[in-house]
Structure 1
Amino acid sequence: MKHIKIIVLNLIALLGCSIMLQAQNNYKNWSDIIRKSDAAWFATPEAQTIAENVLLYQRNIGGWPKNIEMQKPLSEAEKQSLIALKSDLHDITTDNGATCQEMLFLAKMYKQKPDERYKKAFLLGLDYLLEAQYDNGGWPQFYPLKKGYYTHITYNDDSMFHILSILKQIAETSDYNGIPISQDYVAKAKVAFDKGITCIIKTQYKQNGVLTAWCAQHDENTLAPAKARAYELPSLSGKESAKIVLLLMSINNPSPEVITAVKSACTWFEKTKITNLEEKRILNDAGKIIDKKMIPATNASPIWARFMELDNNEPFFSDRDGVKKKSLDEIGGERKNGYAWYTDEPKEPLKKYPSWEKKYAFEKSEKKKAESENVITVAQDGSGDFKLIQDAINATKAFPYENVTIHIKNGTYYEKIRIPEFNNNISLIGESKEKTIITYDDYFGKMNLGRNSTFYTYTMLVEGNDFSASNLTIQNSSGDIGQAVALSIMGDNAYVFNCNILGNQDTLYASGNNSRQYFKDCYIEGTTDFIFGKATVLFENCQIHSLKNSYITAASTPEGTAFGFVFKNCTLTADKNATQVYLGRPWRIYAKTVFIECKMGNHIVPQGWENWSKPEAEKTAFYAEYNCSGEGFKPKERVKWSYQLSKKEAKKYTVENVFSKVQRFF
């Protein structure tokens, strides 16, 4: 009986496996599986089995080959063959939905079953998409590049639409169908998406000076319509242009260029629609198309030709000989029946266009109204709203709901600027970093206000939250005469981009209670403790320049704060007379300062850090470095109480971690 029971159980198990394999084989198309609406299915053993195939087919570079039915069971020999192909760089593509559809499948899998392998494979696919993009914003059909027409910018079969849809979702939500995306990837996705849209705008074809639509392929260098296969001649595409327009219509706050592109394409769709023909398909007993006929009709549902002449929009057709024909009946049965020569896809953007246009018209009027209230220009020659920056700040509303932008024209503004706590949401944008200069010359001795005189010496004081500044020089011009602050930020959520912060001792005071600040692509110079304070600050891609032998930082990070001063990918330079410079010393004993992947000149002393005659700070301060370079990076000679971070430890110093949550500017 026992043996019979075992046999029965084995038969049941085999039957279960057979049913499962049969269920897999019942899926005729891989694309149907990916788009299953039953989310719970992606947690089933059946889905997990298919996911193992998807992981096997992915190449090390991150992409997948096309036209693979991932649901088909693999033998052990086939699995070993796929493992051997991992490093192969041939036939990896986004054509026919490849790579994008596998990424979507893995995201759906991860949402139901958070296997880190799915997330890792998805991110590897994202790396592939980002790497494959041309500098002009387009994507080739195959990457690494495959010789021939495959190098053209490819809209064919909606390839770029699928790529840009992925990047758009990541850039807007920091998530892709359940996979959380780090801010590093979000930033890259935003840049890649914007470049892709720029490419789309530049490739929209002008017919006799009028914008129309797009070709299935465009030359990767000239951006002109290009040929692919013999029967895919340069032309305007009724099919591919539809998805491009839908993508453009999905953009929030579209630029004037995007609006013009959508309007022009929809006008072209209306002009080129065909309402006097219907396609009739003749099928055999197996359901296969054996003939197509275009039948004259009255008020037929609109269709569009796949290929239209560039100069007059006339439909044309072509066999594998590449010779243009005027009707479908003129080409052989293999191409006539095996290719989609007509499409109804432009119906969707045309259906959405009226509401899109209405929404845009409303938003445009509202935006214009808001801009008149929230955009101010400062110009010394009187051509703006104000001649002085402080007057412009004083004229802004207290606690505005929307950001107030103050454009500052080139000039040297000798002003002592204060942005009070009630003037939040202010952005100062200079005309140019080199020629828009805000300067003042207060210093400790001049103020003569007692032991705390330093804090009154600022050229610019920011007390309001949600402040940003870009394309400016902010300077304390008093010279090397003691403490003299150029920029003092006390508010939370501040962003300073592409600015020069110039001074000597105490150039930048980054402080405020729970203040978070982000300096990107800035030049900051000084002598002693020229970056000091208790704020949490990320300095990224900045040049930190020492004017003489002294100390760069003097953090006063409060006890229990997760991060203090964080320098990432910065370059540390110095004047010729500065040969003995410390990375920092603790203004207060819980100081935190970290340098990550920074390049350090030979002016940095081997010991790196100094305790400011506070031996207790050696136990409480946190001074660290990771993977830095340059003559000044001497990790083995640093003071024993500093740290060299591990790769795992360094990974936590991301924008989202440093600032707890994504802020308006981050």
Structure 2
Amino acid sequence: MMYFKQIFIFLVLLTVSGGNAYSQVLDLSWKHIVQDMDASWYGTEEAQGIANTVLLYQKNIGGWHKNIAMHKPLSEEEKQNLIASKPDADRCTIDNGATYLEMIFLSKVYKKTKNEVYKSAFLKGLEYLLEAQYPNGGWPQYYPLRKGYYTHITYNDGAMINVMSILKDINEGSKDLGIKVDKSTLERTQIAFNKGVSCILKTQYKQEGVLTGWCAQHDEITFQPAKARAYELPSLGGVDTAQIVLLLMEIKNPSDQVKRSIEAAVTWLEKTKITGLKEERYKTADGLKEKRYVQDVTAKPLLARFMNLEDNAPFFCDRDGVKKASIMDISQERRAGYAWYNSGPNNALKKYPEWKKSLRTHSNNENYITVAQDGSGDYSSIQDAINNCKSFPYERITITIKNGIYFEKIHVYEWNPKISFIGEDKDKTIITYNDSFNGVNLGRNSTFHTPTVLVEGNYTQFKNVTIQNSVGDVGQAIALSVNATGCVIEHCNILGNQDTLYLTGEGNKQWFRNCLITGTTDFIFGNATSLFTDCEIRSKSNSFITAASTPQDTPFGFVFKDCKLTAKDEIDKVYLGRPWRYHAKTVFLNCNLGAHIVPEGWHNWSKTDAESLSFYGEYKNSGKGASTKNRVTWSHQLSDNQAKVYSVKNMLGIKSEKEWLQ
């Protein structure tokens, strides 16, 4: 609300004061004014006058309409009409530079003037871009969504690449941008950019299994090349591909997948470029604009705007949507009024050798690897680091992870045991993804496909990191799944909702030390033997903490020692656990149980047989939820001798975690 009040007051003053100075810029294009003026000009009265007009055109949702000459002066009536139309969001878009150009202009004026109104408008535009992004990382042409081809993931005319360029500048704290964002917003822009890169990689088109380039539009569901206007058929695009490649080449210390994508796209651009052809523009005897292409060995290479998906052959199209092999076979209106060839992609080809040369070499010591998003490490992707680790190493491998938000699914494979993942700061080194049961949609067992981090390598260690499933409270969605033995998770945040932490594998043993684990329902579940010491177990709703499925002949299931069970005041009905399978075993020893723990303590999950077959125990717990007076009769209050059985040695077969971390 503060933003709207601030802008409203400013605009009222603007309409009263009037008087914008536009004399120097009326003959220039809006794009030229945004991108090509001398830096000092953006602090002038003339620039501020244009910035005030940009504010008038911004809609309440944060975006702008397209094809507007923002630098043209407005009458008082036009200003009032724009203020009245601010709730109209239907035509807000990123097409033809819209929203992108306005945000860049405001940032440049703010940098010179420090007028907070311009910064607020920029941040409102940023919120619009973040909201418009699809969960798969792409951006539609229009948001709110409009029916038709406007919903496709749009690379055409730099739409999505413009958005990602802004996000990149924010993430890197670009001095050219001149606007800093708060920590929370920065985390969101980093996630959005990483998701955008993921979408780019998924949409890169393959011909007979070989990566090539990209189309102007891709279907937002299937990622396949998609049709737009009648003469814009599904095809490969040289201009769009070059713009994407230029963006990817700006990523510091790119992942191996990004490198492969760039290599393939550049190979394709080299293969499809057209040499010895020059465009000439002229007027006919009737005064019509025309163009033709003539042979010229000195001409810069050209790329066709549209190429067949099957064989890369250029094609041309009239408004009837019929492909033609020659530009001379389409109407004069389409021939002269559309950019069918472009030399712009040469920039990508020129930059490629420099990019190739700049790639850093990895550390000579294969047992010590650094992952950093800012390019200061050996890899920018955690999974890439794992993929390049030695299989079944004799010595432990340490992967140090610098602060950042790593939006990726991590899989520590069975052949990658003895890896330590050490974060720089547990609250700032964040591994996150957003898969859920309904999101992956792989049948009745979809839950097990949702982990952000899946560990199958024995003797894995995670320390000083946050592992989260960020999908929200939408049902089963695992943050961390451990199907391995000898694993130590310490000083970590494990964050989610339902089914946050899955611990599995008969005979597998794991140790969680000084961790925060959050969730709603059954958020610690599985059949492994897992010890939790000095952890905070935070319930986010009235429900169940544990759902063990301990095998019948396994002596220990989930054991909590010296832990704190916490929740917000409004949460007041949480059970310690319920049996996922009949022989479930869960014990709390010397823990502090908050008032949210129900007096009965445990639930049988409507399984009467589980009351005699399962084992739920407590020993010397404290706190408002620790009273055993009204506990279910089938739970156990341990004696001193019984409690002694729950030693690290008995449960895990080791004296200290060092035995697992050698």
TM range (shorter): 0.5 to 0.7
How far off its partner does 1:266 sit?
A: 1.0
> Match of 1:23, as an amino acid?
Q
Give matches, 1:1-80, under 5 Å: 20-26=21-27, 28-80=28-80
Partners in 2 of 1:427 and 1:144 — Cα distance? 30
Q: Secondary structure at the match of 2:226?
A: coil
How far off its partner does 1:89 sit?
A: 2.2
| Residues 427 and 173 of structure 1: CA distance in aligned 2, closer, same or farther (over 3 Å) | closer
Partners in 1 of 2:74 and 2:355 — Cα distance? 47
Which residue of structure 2 aligns with residue 480 of structure 1? none
Question: Quick check: 1:575 aligned with 2:570?
Answer: no
How far off its partner does 1:472 sit?
A: 7.7
Which residue of structure 2 aligns with residue 228 of structure 1? 228
User: Contact conserved, 1:374 with 1:402, CA < 8 A, in 2?
Assistant: no
Which residue of structure 2 aligns with residue 292 of structure 1? 291
Which residue of structure 2 aligns with residue 272 of structure 1? 272
Any idea what the Cα deviations from partners look like across 1:161-185, whole Å, max 9, x if unmatched? 1011111222333887111111212
Question: Quick check: 1:351 aligned with 2:350?
Answer: yes
Any idea what the Cα deviations from partners look like across 1:269-311, whole Å, max 9, x if unmatched? 11111112111111599xx971111112235321111111221
How far off its partner does 1:24 sit?
A: 4.4
Work out which of the two has the higher radius of gyration on C-alpha atoms and give 1 or 2: 1
Question: Quick check: 1:327 aligned with 2:298?
Answer: no
Partners in 2 of 1:239 and 1:328 — Cα distance? 18
Any idea what the Cα deviations from partners look like across 1:205-231, whole Å, max 9, x if unmatched? 222332211111112222221221121
Q: Secondary structure at the match of 1:329?
A: helix
How far off its partner does 1:358 sit?
A: 3.1
**TM superposition score normalised by structure 2:** 0.60
Partners in 1 of 2:334 and 2:569 — Cα distance? 57
> Match of 1:371, as an amino acid?
E
How far off its partner does 1:372 sit?
A: 3.8
How far off its partner does 1:135 sit?
A: 2.1
How far off its partner does 1:352 sit?
A: 1.5
How far off its partner does 1:326 sit?
A: 2.0
Which residue of structure 2 aligns with residue 133 of structure 1? 133
| Residues 239 and 584 of structure 1: CA distance in aligned 2, closer, same or farther (over 3 Å) | same
Which residue of structure 2 aligns with residue 116 of structure 1? 116
User: Contact conserved, 1:410 with 1:432, CA < 8 A, in 2?
Assistant: no
Give matches, 1:146-185, under 5 Å: 146-173=146-173, 177-185=177-185
Which residue of structure 2 aligns with residue 308 of structure 1? 307
Partners in 2 of 1:407 and 1:319 — Cα distance? 49
Any idea what the Cα deviations from partners look like across 1:600-628, whole Å, max 9, x if unmatched? 7888xxxxxxxx9xxxxxxxxxxxxxxxx
Q: Secondary structure at the match of 1:179?
A: coil
Which residue of structure 2 aligns with residue 338 of structure 1? 337
Q: Secondary structure at the match of 2:294?
A: strand
> Match of 1:149, as an amino acid?
Y
| Residues 438 and 202 of structure 1: CA distance in aligned 2, closer, same or farther (over 3 Å) | closer
> Match of 1:298, as an amino acid?
V
User: Contact conserved, 2:236 with 2:308, CA < 8 A, in 1?
Assistant: yes
Any idea what the Cα deviations from partners look like across 1:126-174, whole Å, max 9, x if unmatched? 1111111122221111111112211111111010110111112223338
Partners in 2 of 1:177 and 1:87 — Cα distance? 28
Partners in 1 of 2:358 and 2:571 — Cα distance? 44
> Match of 1:126, as an amino acid?
L
User: Contact conserved, 1:281 with 1:289, CA < 8 A, in 2?
Assistant: no
Which residue of structure 1 aligns with residue 632 of structure 2? none
Which residue of structure 1 aligns with residue 646 of structure 2? none
Partners in 2 of 1:118 and 1:567 — Cα distance? 39
User: Contact conserved, 1:63 with 1:125, CA < 8 A, in 2?
Assistant: yes
User: Contact conserved, 1:541 with 1:571, CA < 8 A, in 2?
Assistant: no
Partners in 2 of 1:134 and 1:541 — Cα distance? 27
Which residue of structure 2 aligns with residue 106 of structure 1? 106
Partners in 1 of 2:111 and 2:539 — Cα distance? 33
User: Contact conserved, 1:213 with 1:236, CA < 8 A, in 2?
Assistant: yes
> Match of 1:194, as an amino acid?
N
| Residues 584 and 272 of structure 1: CA distance in aligned 2, closer, same or farther (over 3 Å) | same
User: Contact conserved, 1:546 with 1:552, CA < 8 A, in 2?
Assistant: no
Partners in 2 of 1:71 and 1:426 — Cα distance? 44
| Residues 113 and 315 of structure 1: CA distance in aligned 2, closer, same or farther (over 3 Å) | same
Which residue of structure 2 aligns with residue 192 of structure 1? 192
Give matches, 1:497-516, under 5 Å: none
> Match of 1:191, as an amino acid?
I
Which residue of structure 1 aligns with residue 245 of structure 2? 245
Which residue of structure 2 aligns with residue 633 of structure 1? none
Partners in 1 of 2:309 and 2:412 — Cα distance? 46
> Match of 1:193, as an amino acid?
F
> Match of 2:135, as an amino acid?
D
How far off its partner does 1:350 sit?
A: 0.9
> Match of 1:305, as an amino acid?
A
How far off its partner does 1:569 sit?
A: 13
Which residue of structure 1 aligns with residue 88 of structure 2? 88
Which residue of structure 2 aligns with residue 619 of structure 1? none
Partners in 2 of 1:431 and 1:144 — Cα distance? 30
User: Contact conserved, 2:411 with 2:454, CA < 8 A, in 1?
Assistant: no
> Match of 2:231, as an amino acid?
Y
**TM superposition score normalised by structure 1:** 0.60
> Match of 1:326, as an amino acid?
A
How far off its partner does 1:385 sit?
A: 3.6
Partners in 2 of 1:275 and 1:345 — Cα distance? 14
| Residues 220 and 568 of structure 1: CA distance in aligned 2, closer, same or farther (over 3 Å) | farther
Q: Secondary structure at the match of 1:20?
A: coil
| Residues 347 and 568 of structure 1: CA distance in aligned 2, closer, same or farther (over 3 Å) | farther
Any idea what the Cα deviations from partners look like across 1:368-422, whole Å, max 9, x if unmatched? x3434449999xxx98446xxxx94xx979xx9999xx998889x9xxx9x9x9x
| Residues 58 and 23 of structure 1: CA distance in aligned 2, closer, same or farther (over 3 Å) | same
Give matches, 1:387-398, under 5 Å: 392=396
User: Contact conserved, 1:205 with 1:211, CA < 8 A, in 2?
Assistant: yes
Which residue of structure 1 aligns with residue 647 of structure 2? none
Partners in 2 of 1:322 and 1:284 — Cα distance? 26
Partners in 2 of 1:164 and 1:427 — Cα distance? 21
How far off its partner does 1:261 sit?
A: 1.5
Question: Quick check: 1:371 aligned with 2:366?
Answer: yes
Partners in 1 of 2:462 and 2:264 — Cα distance? 48
Comparing 315-324 with 236-245, greater Cα deviation is found at: 315-324
Q: Secondary structure at the match of 1:213?
A: coil
Partners in 2 of 1:568 and 1:226 — Cα distance? 51
| Residues 146 and 520 of structure 1: CA distance in aligned 2, closer, same or farther (over 3 Å) | same
> Match of 1:224, as an amino acid?
Q
CA RMSD of aligned residues (A): 5.5
How far off its partner does 1:122 sit?
A: 1.2
> Match of 1:138, as an amino acid?
G
Q: Secondary structure at the match of 1:291?
A: strand
Which residue of structure 1 aligns with residue 255 of structure 2? 255
User: Contact conserved, 1:539 with 1:570, CA < 8 A, in 2?
Assistant: no
Comparing 235-244 with 247-256, greater Cα deviation is found at: 247-256
Give matches, 1:521-532, under 5 Å: none
How far off its partner does 1:237 sit?
A: 0.9
How far off its partner does 1:436 sit?
A: 8.4
Partners in 2 of 1:52 and 1:101 — Cα distance? 14
Count of paired positions: 486
Percent identity, aligned pairs only, is 43
Partners in 2 of 1:331 and 1:518 — Cα distance? 65
| Residues 316 and 384 of structure 1: CA distance in aligned 2, closer, same or farther (over 3 Å) | closer
User: Contact conserved, 2:61 with 2:89, CA < 8 A, in 1?
Assistant: yes
Partners in 1 of 2:174 and 2:212 — Cα distance? 34
Partners in 1 of 2:430 and 2:143 — Cα distance? 41
> Match of 1:347, as an amino acid?
N
| Residues 219 and 166 of structure 1: CA distance in aligned 2, closer, same or farther (over 3 Å) | same
Q: Secondary structure at the match of 2:238?
A: coil
> Match of 2:340, as an amino acid?
W
